Every structure is written in C-alpha cells, then in structure tokens.
Amino acid sequence: MPPPRPNAGQASAEYVALLAVVCAVVAGAAAVGSVPPIAAQVASAVKHGICRVADGICTPDQARAAGLAPCLTHVRSEREKLGGRVLVFKVGRDDALLVQRRSDGSASVSFADGAGVGASAGLGAQLLGRGANARVGVGLQFTAGRNWEFPTFADAARFVRRWGRTETLGGELRGLLPGGDHPPSPDSTYQEGGAYGEVAAAIGLPAGIVAEARHGRSMVMGRRIEPGGRVTWYDRVDAETAGRLGLVLAAVGRHDAGEAALEITTVHGRATELRLRAAAGVHGDIAPAGPAAGLADLVTRLRGSAPQPGGKGRRIEAEVALDLTDPANRAALRGFFEIAVLRAAPAEWDDRVRALAHRLDVAAAVDVRVLRVGLDESDHSADAVVAGGSYDHTEEVRDLVRAWSLPPGGSLQEREDCIPA
C-alpha cells in the first residue's frame, strides 16, 4: 500500500481539479453564449472552494467556532463642522453620524457632538511677487457621543431616518424649543477631549491658481462606557509611536498612515485587553501572502517593496489585540506605561518599548482589512481681518473588500465569512 501523500500535494491536486472544472464550465457557457451570468456564479463557487481547500474561515459558523468576532463590512460617516473667529479667538461646533454594518447582519449607529475653543493668528505677505498667507492655531476640543446597537441593518437604517435629522446642527437647535424630539437612551456612551494644533498656508500662482496646504496634529484621550461594567480607555497616538509597537503596525506605518489608537479595556475595573489600531491610505490592493503564511510573511506583504502614497481608492486597517489576563502581557504593558509617568529611567525606555512590541508580535491576535473608500467633501468659508467663519461637510463610505485573521502563533486565515456574497 503506497504511503499517503503529504497535505501540500493533496491541496495542489485539489486546486488542479477545481480549476479543470472551472475551465470546463466556462467553455461550455461560452458555447451557448451565456458567459456573464454563469461566470459570476462560477467565480463565487471557485472562491468558496479555494477557501475550503486553503483552510480559510469560509462561513459564520466557522468564525464563531474559532472565537472570531464579526467584521465591519460597511461604514458610513457624515460630519458637519461650523467654525467662527473674532480677532485671534476661535470657536467651533461639529456633529457626526456613524453607521456600521457587521458580517453577522448586526449594526450600530453613533451620534457625536463636539466643541472646540482656541486661538489663531494669520500673516499675509508678498512672496516672489505673489500674495501669500499663513495661519497658525492652537486650542482645546471635546466630544461626547452616544451609540445604539441593532440586530439588523434595516433596524439601524430606520433609526437613522427617524432621528438623524434631529442630530444635525440645525436639528439640535430645533430640539431646544419646547416639544423638541430626542432619541431614546443609548446602549453605550463615550467622551473624549484634548489639545490640537493646526497650520494652513496659501500662495497665489499664475493663471489665477491658488496652492494651499494644511496640517494638523491633536492629542486626544477618551473613555467608552458599555454595559456589563465594560470600560475602554483610548488614546490617539502618532504613526511614529505606533510604528515602534510591533511588526504589523510598523508595516502599516510605511504607507500614508492617517490614524492610530491605543485602547485598554477593563471589566469591573480589571484590565482585560490591549488593542492597537492603525489605518493607512494605499493605492491599489494589498493581498497578504495566503492562508499558510505566518506573521513574517504577512508583514513582508504589508510593507510592500516601497512606501506607497495615500489615496482615496483603498484603505488598509490593522488591529492587534493582546490578552491582559496573561501575566507576561500585563507586565510588558505596565513597563511601557511606567515611561509615561516617569517611573522608569530614560536608559530603560527603549528596552521597555521593545518588550511590549515583542509581546505584541508573539502573543497578539491580528486582524487585517482592505476597504474600498469613497469620500465627498465640501467647505465654505469667509475670512476678514477681524472676523471669519467656515462650514465644512464630509461624507465617507467604506466597504470591505478582503479580510484576514491571524491568531497568536497560528497561520493567516482569509475571512471569506466577512465578505458579502
């Protein structure tokens, strides 16, 4: 009796057989002139077949059995911001709507109200015969938000249709009047605040063209309160800091990293999880190396051959989650935070950062997503010597294209269960 074939050979044989069937079906469809509809069905069947052969996560039942949370498959955010300036003093007010749909069919809706106060100063001059101006501002900002959970996306959509108009800037003014409508009590709440700084500059060019550049930086900390004694504290961090906390975040940071955050979740006062998030805009698609890949292969693929410029077409998101009930993980995080409270000597700082990065590399669960992004922005402003005002409206839609999960010490698995059929 011949020895059994290795798994790799068996998988290869199954791939060949699967592709042979595909070719036969497509050829037959072409003969009767019905390629387009059949091709779509075949592509779906092939994708599911490859997922099964490659030991991916192909169904919601498999995801639940593996202890994997549902993926965010669709995100829509809408934000309007109103600002005013008198001399060097600046005030602002903004409202935001966030709708999220998950792969298990559930959804959530969030409303956020923000306010800011600060100071800004401008300078105008003639540069190379062209008018130029610059403005610098600093200040404080605060945001309070509410979140509602729904079993289906249809329930969330009905909620937005009913209450979304009351949470705009104009709707909130009407809500101050007698008899104004207000949404029901939320399922969870969050508050965040911090300082910000911004710089804007513009210069006139030939043919009436104006070149503008803007840059802003903020330090924001927040707290999210959920049922069951669950509280999450979070801090937005810069890409450089995130890039030192493990290989995955460093790889994402090579691209146009737009945001990063550090979160610590406690349950009844006991720390249970550290979660680091990073996101970057990329051109084209990023496909991790496959279901047999480990952390090193994933990082190599995410880094790419060269840093890629940001773009509106694609966005990559990575989440790294560390179990803080593990004593080794908890000790590494404690050593990291002792840097912030100056309880560690400067000579120890690099070692403590590397110790936490090592735990994130060897013991954390990793989730990676590629999303298609659509962005629509409009702004209106008027500025004079003593006063000015502005109104900005931004709407962004993100749809999941591909997703992968990498359990601690395991292999990368594609999350076909997360992708809408």
Residues 54-66 have pLDDT tens digits of 566 787 788 888 8
Beta bridge partners of 260: 278
Write out the E strands in 69-106. 72-86, 89-102
pLDDT, mean of residues 235-239 = 79
**Vertex 235: Cα angle to 296 and 348 (nearest 5):** 65
Extents of the domains making up the chain: 1-53, 54-418
Residue 396's identity, in one-letter code, is E
Chain segment 272-287, per-residue pLDDT in tens? 999 999 888 876 666 6
Q: What is the C-alpha to C-alpha distance for residues 70 and 369, in angstroms, rounded to an integer?
A: 12
Q: What is the C-alpha to C-alpha distance for residues 23 and 401, in angstroms, rounded to an integer?
A: 25
Q: What is the C-alpha to C-alpha distance for residues 134 and 157, in angstroms, rounded to an integer?
A: 43
Give residue 206's pLDDT. Answer: 57
pLDDT, mean of residues 64-80 = 88
pLDDT, mean of residues 104-131 = 73
Placement of tokens 């292999």 in the chain: 411
Chain segment 219-235, per-residue pLDDT in tens? 678 889 998 899 999 88
Find the radius of gyration of the CA atoms of the chain.
25
Chain segment 337-369, per-residue pLDDT in tens? 888 778 888 899 899 999 999 999 999 999 998
Q: 154 pLDDT band (50/70/90 cuts)?
A: very high
Alpha helices in 220-303 (DSSP H): 239-243, 247-253, 295-303
* DSSP run (H or E) holding 119: strand 107-127
Q: What is the C-alpha to C-alpha distance for residues 44 and 50, in angstroms, rounded to an integer?
A: 10
What is the rounded average pLDDT for all residues in the chain? 76
Nearest CA to 320 among 264, 260, 248, 267?
248
Q: What is the C-alpha to C-alpha distance for residues 124 and 203, in angstroms, rounded to an integer?
A: 10
Q: Which residues contact 122 (CB under 8 A, 6 or more apart)?
A: 133, 134, 135, 136
Give residue 62's pLDDT. Answer: 81
- Choose between 310 and 325: higher pLDDT: 325
For 138, list phi and psi in degrees, rounded to 5: -140, 155
Highest mean pLDDT among 17-31, 104-118, 267-281: 267-281
Integer angstrom CA distances of residue 250 from 29, 260, 302, 303, 318:
47, 11, 9, 8, 11
DSSP string covering 367-386, please?
A: EEEEEEEEEEEEEEEEE-SS
Highest mean pLDDT among 42-56, 79-93, 205-219: 79-93
Q: 109 pLDDT band (50/70/90 cuts)?
A: very high
Q: What is the C-alpha to C-alpha distance for residues 61 and 70, in angstroms, rounded to an integer?
A: 11
pLDDT at residue 262 is higher than 60: yes
Return the minimum-mean-pLDDT range out of 86-90, 133-137, 309-313: 309-313
CA dihedral angle for residue 162, residue 167, residue 169, residue 172, rounded to 10 degrees: 90
Q: 99 pLDDT band (50/70/90 cuts)?
A: very high
- How many CB atoms sit inside 10 A of residue 213's CB? 10
pLDDT at residue 199 is higher than 70: no
Beta bridge partners of 382: 389
Give residue 5's pLDDT. Answer: 40
Contacts 24+ apart (CB under 8 A), 383-386: 383/85, 386/86, 386/87
Token readout for 317 is: 């998101």
